[in-house]
Amino acid sequence: MDQKEIKLMLGIVIPNALAIIIISSMSFTMSQNNNIVWVGIVSLPLLMGMISQYYWRDLTLNKYDYIKYHLLNLAVAFFWSWFLIGRKL
């Protein structure tokens, strides 16, 4: 693997791993406070996008490549959401 592929993979794996950790920690507090779920719906995708951009900032990608990798990141997030907590679109 070259450096570009490693950075692309890190831009997908790290944000999704962080999202899994945040969602699992939120599941403990959801029974006590339902407002935290609404905060997670907005802030978690923004945080994932910022982390992805942090890893992809040095790469020379055109706008279609960025869209393609963000859609791939979105598909991975939907898969984990479906697989771990049974959420649907």
* Residue 42 pLDDT: 67
Full pLDDT tens readout for the chain, 89 residues: 788 888 888 888 888 888 778 777 776 666 665 555 555 666 777 788 888 888 888 888 888 988 888 888 888 877 777 776 665 55
Which among 1, 27, 8, 23 is positioned nearest to 66, based on CA atoms? Answer: 8
Which of 16, 38, 33 is CA-nearest to residue 82? Answer: 16
C-alpha 47 chain-centroid distance: 8
pLDDT of amino acid 38: 56
Radius of gyration of the chain (CA): 14
List the domain boundaries for the chain.
3-85
Q: Can you give the pLDDT at residue 21?
A: 80
Q: Alpha-carbon distance 49 to 35, whole Å? A: 22
